[in-house]
Structure 1
Amino acid sequence: MTDADRPSDVGAPDRSGAVAADLLRPLTAEATAHDGTPPFSDQALVDARSGQATVVGDGDAAAILRPDQGEAELVVRPAVRRAGLGTILLRTVVEVTEGPLAIWAHGDHPGARRLADAFGFEATRRLLQQRAAVAADAPAPALPDGVSVRPFRPGVDEAAWLDLNARAFASHPEQGSLTLLDLEAREGDDWFDPDDFLLVRHGDDLVAFCWLKVQHGEPGEFYAVGVDPARQGQHLGGLAVDAGLHRLAERGLETASLYVEGDNAPALRLYAARGFTDHAVDVQYTLAR
């Protein structure tokens, strides 16, 4: 099938909420199973479900648009790829948005690179997915005096965690901007387990955290690891990661995964010391206009 055999567009950007969720769910599942990585970030899906983002597309190809952030994420159903749908979809996204446009290519597949080149996008960020083996006997970390690790308490710890997360990721365009609504949306996801959300405290102060995401058949993901910027150099990041590895071992997971910015040298050193190596890469392409 060629572009000429398809409609001139793939739908108006007017779907959100439950309608968007119903459209995206099967596309996301098929693409994840085929590609080995989800086509959309969790935040993009949260925004689509809540109506803060809109969706262009149909059952074969769809994009989540977040015009206020100048971002979009796209997917084409694996069974109908290489038929021109990606070109049609990206052309529609470019036409219905204004200003600089950033698009994530999760997994950075060759088709995504070719499409980006065809529309004049340039690579601007690299997000590495790394993996490591989880030792069955991974020990709990030794805790300094006054330091404790305990699970997140829904309905109690949100404010303190949001404050720390915002400070720890002040320069991060996605993680650092999470709101209470974003956090509560994740608490409502099927994968959320407060016992996998580990908070590191020094006395009464929340100083670091390790948030794990565990889904059936997938590696145990270090969803987010953060440290109070005022306490950098106290080895709290390593302590939080070690607590996470211990928790994954308790749950019987054999592999851990995480995402880290390709230019974050301190984090790369920390993870390398625990056996993490590159598994895949997500690339953000930007159209300057």
Structure 2
Amino acid sequence: MDPAEVADVSALARTAGDTDGADPFDESVLLRLRDPQAATVHLTARTAAGELVGYAHLDVTTPAEGIGLDLVVHPAHRRRGLGRSLAVAALTEADRAGTTLTGPDRDGAVPVGPAGTDADRDGAVVRSWAHGDHPAAAALAVDLGLTRARVLWQLRRPLTEPTAAPPLPDGVTLRAFRPGSDDDAWLALNARAFADHPEQGRWTVADLRARLAEPWFDPAGFLLAVQESTGRLLGFHWTKVHDRPGTHPVGEVYVLGVDPTAHGGGLGRALTAAGLTYLRRQRGLDRVMLYVDESNTAAVALYRRAGFAHWCAHVNYQRG
């Protein structure tokens, strides 16, 4: 997509997010929009006057493992069948991509055929997020044969009350992340900490550096727990601040991880408190959020003890 098209999609997403109370795309989709090398199929719906009113994003990086589908329709153009038309076209493209695409379409043109074009072969595995668990998204998923496969909770808590700060385990200190120096060690720790996570544990150098280049990145808010005697990384709390114009800023427990060998010593609780204290005292924020899988009962329990409560849910639907 050219910069003007990226700007159109970003504006559409903001409008939908403001209306729905939940943004339609997660961070990975927004990063891929700006990456010309990303293996992505873009489908757009425009009025006769050229206004963008619908957009579907297909992540075809690893078609054999599944194709990611994200979709948004302008609030003023809903209830007219546009969402369903985009979804059907996207699923058709997903089936085509599952057998023909191994990377981005270098010509930038992706023909969209009618539903049923690829009916003579098995459909590709498709995973699609419904941010905010919108009822219309749930109804569309059922209609198109997608099943509810995973639930991601957003939890929130105020930062106006003092945060209890349990001590770090003996021999462990905290310091800020050093871009360029800590990249490889952090990626290795992240892979160990999230070995069973379908997205986080697979981060690459490119994934990390894309986020380090984002305007929101603050190395002082990327806290590392280090073993004093060896310098080995044992855990981390990466914070983020959402400060979109016209909205109240909110902090985020962006990623919190502990090496499996350091579990059980209270490091997770200490890192959680350290990050919340940073967001309150250094960034002056009065609220914080985080995302956690509904099925991760240990993490949910940790965050509830830290004062977090359920805010909303994001549901992943799957076909195949």
Give your verdict on TM over 0.5: yes
1:20 to partner: Cα distance:
5.3
Query: Equivalent residue for 1:23?
Result: 8
User: Matches of 2:215 and 2:19 in 1, distance apart?
Assistant: 22
* Structure 1: gaps spanning 5 or more residues: 1-14
The alignment partner of 1:60 has SS state of strand
Which residue, out of 292, 295, 302, partners 1:260?
A: 292
The alignment partner of 2:279 has SS state of helix
* Structure 2: gaps spanning 5 or more residues: 46-51, 96-123
1:54 to partner: Cα distance:
2.8
User: Matches of 1:136 and 1:150 in 2, distance apart?
Assistant: 24
The alignment partner of 1:63 has SS state of strand
Higher relative contact order (CA 8 A, sep 6+): 1
Which residue, out of 9, 34, 39, partners 1:49?
A: 34
Query: Equivalent residue for 1:4?
Result: none
Query: Equivalent residue for 2:163?
Result: 138
Query: Equivalent residue for 2:270?
Result: 239
User: Matches of 1:262 and 1:65 in 2, distance apart?
Assistant: 25
Is 1:55–1:64's contact at 8 Å kept on the other side of the alignment?
A: yes
Indicate yes or no: 2:99 matched with 1:102. no
User: Matches of 1:229 and 1:174 in 2, distance apart?
Assistant: 18
Is 1:209–1:225's contact at 8 Å kept on the other side of the alignment?
A: yes
Cα RMSD (Å): 1.6
Indicate yes or no: 2:118 matched with 1:87. no
User: Matches of 2:139 and 2:218 in 1, distance apart?
Assistant: 39
State the Cα deviation string for residues 155-202 of structure 1 (Å, max 9, x = none). Answer: 211111111111111111111111111111111112111111111111
Is 1:20–1:49's contact at 8 Å kept on the other side of the alignment?
A: no
Q: Please, what TM-score do these two structures have when normalized by structure 2?
A: 0.81
Indicate yes or no: 2:58 matched with 1:65. yes
Q: Percent identity?
A: 40
Matched AA of 1:48: L
Indicate yes or no: 2:233 matched with 1:206. yes
Query: Equivalent residue for 1:76?
Result: 73
- Runs of 4 or more above 6 Å deviation: none
Count of paired positions: 273
Query: Equivalent residue for 2:24?
Result: 39
Query: Equivalent residue for 2:107?
Result: none
Query: Equivalent residue for 1:5?
Result: none
Is 1:137–1:249's contact at 8 Å kept on the other side of the alignment?
A: no
State the Cα deviation string for residues 22-51 of structure 1 (Å, max 9, x = none). Answer: 232111211222222221111122223223
Indicate yes or no: 2:317 matched with 1:285. yes
1:136 to partner: Cα distance:
4.8
The alignment partner of 1:214 has SS state of strand
State the structure with more CA Rg: 2
Is 2:169–2:266's contact at 8 Å kept on the other side of the alignment?
A: no
Is 2:165–2:274's contact at 8 Å kept on the other side of the alignment?
A: yes
Query: Equivalent residue for 1:9?
Result: none
Indicate yes or no: 2:301 matched with 1:269. yes
State the Cα deviation string for residues 180-230 of structure 1 (Å, max 9, x = none). Answer: 111111111121111111111112011111111102223211111111012
Is 2:168–2:266's contact at 8 Å kept on the other side of the alignment?
A: no
